[in-house]
């Protein structure tokens, strides 16, 4: 358009009209009057004008300006303009015709959908609507995975920001350019035939041009997201340590079920959920943990004590009330406490048993219960552990509680100095390995007490 204008200007300059009376439009016929009747005159006029137009290239600037003015003021001008506009309209339409309407480009739609799905073009704070964050969000805690996600999230928001600012920039530029062009065209429409429709069409063209640029932006944004995503997935494929919290939970379960650290499918699911990891990861963890624990029990003693104490304490706090209730029952039975596996002890949950027993011990050994032989308690406990050798089925819960209690005892009663050689270390693993008949017993690291518990188990 600019060029065109320039061209016109140039064309208007340096021209000498082949001597006609159009100076300043003075020579033109009177504007009003006998229009309808004067057919010849009009033809003549048009012929003149056309002629002027044809020879316009030979004029001088001043003359051209003058003539331009004259033309503008010519009474026929509007009519001619409209005719020319119409012609242009028709030819333009026929030329463009096909490309006139813009179908919703499937490519663009695809990009849009993807950007929307990726949370890039969605609402501002949409976060990652991507599947990646779904798992973490579902877990509630989310602290674990979100650490992993934070990086991804940050990068994604970065992309989104860039995308939005760029988009905005484009839009603004588009608007500016459109208004500019429109002004220009309006301006020019005074000197050359430009119909409003044509302006409209021009605006459409501009918009299309810009939207194609936008599509490029979208495309590159999509690519960026894809790259980020693949990189993120790659990073995830590589080993990442579980969060501290997750490890805590897993360890808690492990050590509170030390005598039978085989979580059921449900338990695994629960743990997986709690830790925001997959079930197979839980399985892996327990597999690794079992074997590593067994391999070098000594190394895990500290940890075991820690978690045992922790669970014991929490349980104690949590179910302190339950003890009162249960106390009413348990002391009455002669053989009380350690027949739990026979379901004499009908407490609600394993925890309550745990806390109860723990409490019994921490409260000062057997005193709280008027048991016939308080000294047997330890033996009984050990025998309980020992029970796991035969049938893990019978009282796994009880055993595990026993383990916990042992830990709790060692912690609370003050066996800390014996941590290196904890009296309970072998657990059911001892002897010939409780869990799954694994040989390598505690003999390697097992201290004093190993054989003792083995004996006692026979008593049961």
Q: Does 285 bind DNA (CB under 7 A)?
A: yes
Q: Which region, judged by CB under 7 A, interacts with DNA, from 152-160, 205-213, 239-247, 319-327?
A: 239-247
CA–CA separation, 145 and 275 (whole Å): 9
- Cα-atom radius of gyration of the chain, to the nearest Å? 45
Q: Does 262 bind DNA (CB under 7 A)?
A: yes
348 CB-contact burial (10 Å; exposed 0-12 / middle 13-18 / buried 19+): exposed
User: Which residue lies nearer to DNA by CB, 48 or 252?
Assistant: 252
Using CB under 7 A as the criterion, what x/- string covers residues 294-333 for binding DNA? x----x----------------------------------
> Binder to DNA among 173, 291, 320, 367 (CB under 7 A)?
291
Q: Does 242 bind DNA (CB under 7 A)?
A: yes
User: Which residue lies nearer to DNA by CB, 294 or 407?
Assistant: 294
Shortest Cβ 293–DNA spacing (Å): 10
What tokens appear for 164 in the block?
Answer: 């939005």
Shortest Cβ 440–DNA spacing (Å): 7
> Binder to DNA among 273, 440, 452, 460 (CB under 7 A)?
440
Q: Which region, judged by CB under 7 A, interacts with DNA, from 101-109, 157-165, 412-420, 433-441?
A: 433-441
> Binder to DNA among 238, 324, 343, 393 (CB under 7 A)?
238
> Binder to DNA among 235, 320, 367, 444 (CB under 7 A)?
235
> Binder to DNA among 2, 32, 124, 239 (CB under 7 A)?
239
- Is 250 within 8 Å of 382 (Cβ atoms)? no
Q: Does 197 bind DNA (CB under 7 A)?
A: no
Using CB under 7 A as the criterion, what x/- string covers residues 74-113 for binding DNA? ----------------------------------------
> Binder to DNA among 113, 165, 284, 349 (CB under 7 A)?
284
End-to-end CA gap in the chain:
103
In order of 33, 45, 73, 187, the CA distances from 24 in angstroms are 20, 15, 9, 21
User: Which residue lies nearer to DNA by CB, 169 or 292?
Assistant: 292
Using CB under 7 A as the criterion, what x/- string covers residues 264-283 for binding DNA? -------------x---x-x
Q: Does 257 bind DNA (CB under 7 A)?
A: no
User: Which residue lies nearer to DNA by CB, 295 or 341?
Assistant: 295
Q: Does 241 bind DNA (CB under 7 A)?
A: yes
Q: Does 247 bind DNA (CB under 7 A)?
A: yes
CA–CA separation, 10 and 18 (whole Å): 18
User: Which residue lies nearer to DNA by CB, 301 or 366?
Assistant: 301
What tokens appear for 253 in the block?
Answer: 């379960």
User: Which residue lies nearer to DNA by CB, 117 or 267?
Assistant: 267
Shortest Cβ 215–DNA spacing (Å): 36
User: Which residue lies nearer to DNA by CB, 95 or 131?
Assistant: 131
Dihedrals φ, ψ of 293, to 5°? -65, -45
| Helix pair angle (61-73, 2-12), 10° resolution | 110
Q: Does 288 bind DNA (CB under 7 A)?
A: yes
CA–CA separation, 238 and 431 (whole Å): 39
Shortest Cβ 421–DNA spacing (Å): 18
Q: Does 190 bind DNA (CB under 7 A)?
A: no
Q: Does 213 bind DNA (CB under 7 A)?
A: no
CA–CA separation, 346 and 402 (whole Å): 16
Can you list the pairs that 104-109 forms with residues at least 24 positions away whose Cβ atoms lie under 8 Å? 105/215, 107/215, 108/211, 108/215, 108/218
Q: Which region, judged by CB under 7 A, interacts with DNA, from 58-66, 77-85, 289-297, 395-403?
A: 289-297
- Is 441 within 8 Å of 433 (Cβ atoms)? yes
Total number of residues that touch DNA (CB under 7 A):
26
The binding site for DNA (CB under 7 A) comprises 235, 238-242, 247, 262, 277, 281, 283-288, 290-292, 294, 299, 435-436, 438-440
């Amino acid at each position: 358009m600019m060029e065109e204008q320039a061209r016109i200007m140039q064309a208007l300059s340096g021209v000498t009209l082949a001597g006609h009376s159009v100076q300043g439009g003075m020579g033109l016929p009177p504007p009003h009057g006998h229009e309808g009747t004067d057919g010849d005159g009009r033809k003549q006029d048009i012929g003149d004008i056309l002629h002027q137009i044809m020879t316009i290239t030979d004029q001088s600037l001043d003359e051209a300006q003058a003539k331009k003015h004259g033309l503008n003021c010519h009474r026929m001008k509007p009519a001619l303009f409209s005719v020319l506009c119409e012609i242009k309209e028709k030819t333009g339409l026929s030329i463009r015709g096909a490309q006139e309407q813009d179908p919703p480009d499937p490519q663009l739609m695809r990009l849009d959908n993807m950007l929307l799905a990726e949370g890039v073009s969605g609402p501002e704070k949409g976060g990652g609507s991507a599947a990646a964050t779904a798992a973490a969000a579902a877990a509630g805690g989310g602290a674990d995975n979100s650490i992993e996600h934070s990086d991804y999230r940050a990068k994604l928001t970065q992309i989104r920001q860039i995308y939005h600012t760029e988009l905005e920039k484009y839009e603004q530029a588009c608007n500016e350019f459109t208004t500019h062009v429109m002004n220009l065209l309006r301006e020019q429409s005074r000197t050359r035939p430009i119909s409003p429709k044509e302006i409209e069409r021009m605006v459409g063209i501009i918009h299309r041009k810009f939207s194609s640029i936008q599509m490029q932006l979208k495309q590159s944004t999509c690519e960026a997201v894809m790259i980020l995503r693949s990189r993120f997935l790659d990073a995830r494929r590589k080993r990442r340590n579980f969060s501290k919290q997750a490890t805590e939970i897993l360890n808690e379960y492990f050590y509170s079920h030390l005598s039978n650290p085989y979580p059921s499918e449900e338990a695994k699911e629960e743990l997986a959920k709690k830790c925001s990891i997959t079930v197979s990861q839980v399985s892996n963890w327990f597999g690794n943990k079992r074997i590593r624990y067994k391999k070098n029990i000594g190394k895990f003693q500290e940890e075991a004590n820690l978690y045992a104490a922790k669970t014991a304490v929490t349980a104690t706090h949590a179910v302190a009330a339950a003890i009162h209730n249960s106390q009413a029952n348990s002391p009455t039975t002669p053989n009380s406490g350690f027949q739990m596996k026979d379901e004499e002890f009908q407490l609600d949950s394993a925890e309550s048993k745990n806390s109860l027993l723990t409490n019994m011990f921490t409260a000062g050994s057997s005193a709280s219960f008027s048991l016939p032989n308080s000294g047997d308690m330890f033996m009984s406990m050990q025998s309980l552990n020992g029970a796991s050798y035969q049938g893990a089925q019978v009282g796994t819960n009880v055993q595990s509680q026993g383990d916990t209690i042992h830990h709790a005892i060692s912690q609370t009663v003050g066996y800390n100095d014996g941590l290196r050689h904890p009296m309970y270390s072998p657990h059911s693993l001892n002897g010939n390995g409780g869990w799954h008949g694994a040989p390598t017993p505690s003999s390697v690291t097992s201290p004093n007490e190993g054989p003792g518990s083995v004996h006692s188990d026979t008593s049961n």
